Chain A
């Protein structure tokens, strides 16, 4: 009987073994995966780009600068579906740190579903930052069930310390799945 039990367990193992991981490799900061989606540095992306929550739950999504050089100021516009999401809070990220205290404000047009984030080092010839890092952390509140997209608007502006525009090659998109 013990042998039969072992055989039955082994048979069960065979069935379990059919389950295989199928990773999406959708880390928005993965340069390879981003390139597959048509996003090349310098770019602004969300991290993580896919988040799951429950209706009424709050999730945080970082706005990341991907391989940007000498940024002095950023005006980032985020479009979202105001019927399904609401902005609960926006806090400054870790990229703009050091030197003069950076100026950070945001403006949420909930009726149109547009969140605008401003961040800059004060004064001409101010500091600049380079590389990849989080500019802001947006906390969204899921208002209804289902998947909803949010994206960085192409009207977003990145300037160097001399107020010269830095062209961007990619604008990230994100998704919240509220169960």
Chain B
């Protein structure tokens, strides 16, 4: 028969534990208790184990439990029985492990990190009845170091005891630090956002200075981009037509006026003079119109620039890159390929 020394040591430890418990059990609401390693999500197993240890220490400090089976002892016994506590997240499992450990109560819990938020949840389960005796949940947002304080407070809360002043002060201090850190981060983020916005506005302005609407396209305001570009193109078209009229009148004058100067017949001179005046009026009208169109074009251009600057915003890359072309390397064919992609959302 093979004697397992570690198992005997654990059993002896539990015996003395129960013995001690019997001595002090009368003052404390819970006799024996085991804390299983908290389920972790968004944090590492090691972090989860540290938090479980801290919770256990805080639980001991509450002096509400006669004896708490240490993490090491729990692990040793469970290993001997080929049982893992890693997947133990419900009451029945906790009861099973509690029976193996020979304790009255078992604490199971979880620490979940989602974004900047930590959610800690603990359940105190009676091994005898298999029901949840107490359940607490705590939400925390701040420096991860503050989690230890939070988990300590959670232990006091689970035991329905008023948290010690030192822990509360620590929490307040952590909260102040977290607040300060959050403010610093917020200020930094605001500065960064302002810098990016300024850059985006200038980038937009520069592009719209080169080509109306380009800045708006750059800012992701495609409708406005088309409006400005379309307006400028329409004005450009009008300018081109007006310029054609002007040029026609100009060319006609280049022919008629020398005829007028060369004419020697009074009747012909009078006719040519009238014709020159008529074409001259046309030339002048076309020129005035051209100037007006040019001013309109200039004004639209300037307004487009102002709009590009005012409406300039940091681009949402995901929104902008909904479709496009690029050149990619295909490892299977071992050659570059032209790729077309389009977002399906």
Contact = CB atoms under 8 A, between A and B. Distances in A.
A132 B273 contact: no
Contacts of B284: 20
Contacts of B290: 13-14, 17
A80 interface: no
Interface stretch (B33-41, B124-132, B167-175, B253-261): B253-261
Interface in A15-43: 17-21, 23, 25-27, 29-32
Interface in B207-242: 210-211, 232, 236, 239-240
A26 B258 CA distance: 11
Contacts of A7: 211, 232, 236
Contacts of B260: 23, 25, 27, 30
B178 interface: no
Interface string B260-291: 11111110011001001000100110010011
Contact of B276 (A3, A17, A23, A48): A23
A21 B283 contact: yes
B239 A29 contact: no
Given A3-B211, A23-B257, A23-B276, A17 B264 contact: no
B294 interface: yes
A22 to B, nearest CB: 9
Q: Is the interface of B mostly helix, strand, loop or mixed?
A: helix
A163 interface: no
Nearest to A6: B236
A134 B250 CA distance: 32
Contacts of B239: 10, 13-14
A18 B290 CA distance: 9
A64 interface: yes
Contacts of B291: 14, 17-18
B210 to A, nearest CB: 7
A134 B240 CA distance: 46
B243 interface: yes
Interface string A33-59: 000000000000001100000000000
B86 to A, nearest CB: 64
Interface residues of B, number: 30
A134 B264 contact: yes
B283 A30 contact: no
A32 B276 CA distance: 14
A48 B261 contact: yes
B309 interface: no
A4 B294 CA distance: 16
B55 interface: no
Contacts of B287: 17-18, 20
Nearest to B280: A21
A21 B239 CA distance: 20
A64 B276 CA distance: 23
A29 B276 CA distance: 16
A14 B242 CA distance: 10
Interface of B: 210-211, 232, 236, 239-240, 243, 246, 250, 253, 257, 260-266, 269-270, 273, 276, 280, 283-284, 287, 290-291, 294, 297
30 contacts: A3-B211, A7-B236, A10-B239, A10-B297, A13-B239, A13-B240, A13-B243, A14-B290, A14-B297, A17-B287, A17-B290, A20-B284, A20-B287, A21-B253, A21-B257, A21-B280, A21-B283, A23-B257, A23-B260, A23-B276, A23-B280, A25-B276, A27-B260, A27-B261, A29-B265, A31-B269, A31-B270, A32-B270, A32-B273, A48-B261
> What 4 A-B pairs come out closest when comparing CB atoms?
A14-B294, A17-B290, A30-B269, A21-B253
